[in-house]
Amino acid sequence: MTTAQEISAVLKELGIDTEANPSYYTGLLSGPKATSNTMVSHTPIDGSLIASVGMATATDYEAVVLQAQEAFKSWRLWPAPKRGEIVRQYGQKLRENKEALGKLVTLEMGKLYQEGLGEVQEMIDICDFAVGLSRQLYGLTIASERPLHRMLEQYQPLGVVGIISAFNFPVAVWAWNSMLAAVCGDVCIWKPSEKTPISAIACHKILLGVLKENDVPEGVFSLIIGGADIGNKLSEDERIPLISATGSTRMGKSVAIKVASRLGKSLLELGGNNAIIVTPQANMDLATRAIVFGAAGTCGQRCTSTRRVIVHEDVKTELIARLTKAYASLPVGSPLDKGVLVGPLIDAAAASKFEEAITACQKEGGTLLTGGKKLSGGLYDKGAYVSPAIVEAKNSYQTVQEETFAPILYIISYQGDVANAIDLQNESLYGLSSAIFTDSIRESERFLSSTGSDCGIANVNIGTSGAEIGGAFGGEKQTGGGRESGSDAWKVYMRRQTNTINYSTDLPLAQGINFN
């Protein structure tokens, strides 16, 4: 089956017929129809057309926000477990459509089919998490210093939440945000990446069916297709108390400034320059497998992709030999094909940045050990396929300190104690994910101590990518400081409120103040 035939089949399975119902491809799937220019989505596998999508106008945007505001008035009154029931039903629909959705993610983004299935599974998992959360949403009881008074803390829904998602996880990150926000009583407006709008449309279409079956008010979940102009409108809109944005640090800084200028809240999940430390006490088999998956998986297009390996001089030669051998056998090709481990980059611009970064690092003194080329011939001429690169370099190189969203792995050596490796890791401006491979409990505990890794995620004997939804996901420094998904990340979608109840007949003041 050709890629074009795969596209046609999966769209048909998901009930998306571009020829019979072209009006379906508008900037909005609820609310008024967009009438402006269109956005065209092609698969990075071979450039085949997936679909054209109408982009929302300023009028469309205003209608969506007004509808969301109106929906919030009634949605916040639904008991949280009832809101959780809607999420539960959506999770079931995702299970029924997992294979088709996973394939569409692969077709539109270019990640391996198994990774596409994994992304849909993340959506299912966060639905399950949110359903349980809908029966918790706990507050606190606080001891009052005044007699016959009760003090407590509770959480109330914020209102409209704007979600700006990135191309590399075109659906899962939206689910992380929207499913939690929904059970918290918020309504959501989703602006997906311009590079992956069809995956968003497919997920939203399934969700609309669940909402209709349950008489959920229109506007609880909205999807708006557009470019940077729509993102700017969301960021600047005082009617939207929270903006959750995933993408580059450059984009995140722009969003942060706009949201902060109106004293709104922002949840930012931005770049990463993630490192794995390999000590002489490491299990080299485990380390090699984790590094290869972390660096080459998703063609290096995860925010948690392994960018740097900080390895002790005593085991550097062995690790390089293992890695170069593994890289030599990495099959690069269509992510739909069995046996392929590396698919294409998202577009030609990403491939150019890949080559430019390697050239720049070599000029700084880096040594290209393997890979690093744009591939050509056959399928390779139809997409942005590259051979994953390993470059021996120094941590101080400017290129090493920058995030290149491509499969480039920098090998950096250290000497002496593991503290020296940790210092090198923490020199990065980013603070998303980190890992150490060691069988020494002293080294692992040092890595996890207050003077260890400064990242939001710090793993021992496991790679930098592949986070579970049960833990809060996010990082520090130029990664933005946001937290999504599990743990108590739900609190960011709510406003905290302290309540004091006086059930006496007196009016004592705090701190013993007496105005009598």
Judge whether 340 and 332 are in contact, CB under 8 Å: yes
pLDDT tens-place string over residues 161-201: 999 999 999 999 999 999 999 999 999 999 999 999 999 99
Q: What is the DSSP string of 340-353?
A: --B--BSSHHHHHH
Question: In the chain, what's the furthest Cα-to-Cα distance?
Answer: 90
Which of 225, 229, 223, 185 lies closest to 207, judged by CA?
Answer: 223
Confidence tier at 35 by pLDDT (50, 70, 90): very low
**Residue 267 confidence (pLDDT) above 60:** yes
pLDDT band of residue 23 (cuts 50, 70, 90) is: very low
- Please give the pLDDT value at position 21: 45
Q: What is the mean pLDDT of residues 350-375?
A: 98
Asked if 277 and 380 touch (Cβ cutoff 8 Å), the reply is no
Written as six digits, the tokens of 414 are: 């250290």
Q: Is the predicted pLDDT of residue 361 greater than 60, yes or no?
A: yes
- pLDDT for residue 52 is more than 90: no
Strand ranges inside 74-164, DSSP E: 140-142, 149-157, 160-164
Mean pLDDT of the chain: 94
| Confidence class for position 57, pLDDT limits 50, 70, 90 | confident
Burial class (CB in 10 A: 0-12, 13-18, 19+), 351: buried
Residues 137-154 have pLDDT tens digits of 999 999 999 999 999 999
Would you state the pLDDT for residue 1? 87
pTM: 0.95
Range with the poorest average pLDDT among 27-31, 175-179, 298-302, 368-372:
27-31
The dihedral of CA 425, 297, 354, 249: what is its sign? negative
Q: Is the pLDDT of residue 55 over 60?
A: yes
The model's confidence at residue 210, banded by pLDDT at 50, 70 and 90, is very high
Which residues are known to be catalytic?
A: 269, 303
- Is the pLDDT reported for residue 398 higher than 80? yes
Q: What integer pLDDT is reported at residue 236 of this predicted model?
A: 98
> What pLDDT score was predicted for residue 122?
98
With beta carbons less than 8 A apart as the criterion, state whether 322 and 288 touch: yes
Q: What is the pLDDT of residue 19?
A: 55
What's the CA gap between 296 and 288, in Å, rounded? Answer: 12
Cα–Cα distances (Å) from 391 to 362, 411, 425, in that order, read 8, 6, 17
Question: What is the rounded average pLDDT of the residues 341-353?
Answer: 98
Partners of 311 in the β-ladder:
278, 413
Confidence category of residue 18, pLDDT binned at 50, 70, 90: low
What is the mean pLDDT of the segment spanning 394-400? 98
Q: What is the mean pLDDT of residues 188-217?
A: 95
Mean pLDDT value across residues 398-427: 98
Question: Tokens 């402006």 identify what position?
Answer: 36
255-265 pLDDT, tens digit each: 999 999 999 99
Please classify residue 461 by burial: count the beta carbons closer than 10 Å to its beta carbon, then call 0-12 exposed, 13-18 middle and 19+ buried: middle
With pLDDT > 70 as the criterion, what percentage of the chain qualifies?
A: 96
Q: Which H or E run contains 295?
A: helix 284-296
Which amino acid would we find at residue 3? T
Question: How high is the pLDDT of residue 444?
Answer: 98
38 — pLDDT class (breaks 50, 70, 90):
confident
Q: State the average pLDDT over residues 431-437.
A: 98
CA distance 227 to 103: 25
Q: What is the pLDDT of residues 90-148, one digit of tens each?
A: 999 999 999 999 999 999 999 999 999 999 999 999 999 999 999 999 999 999 999 99
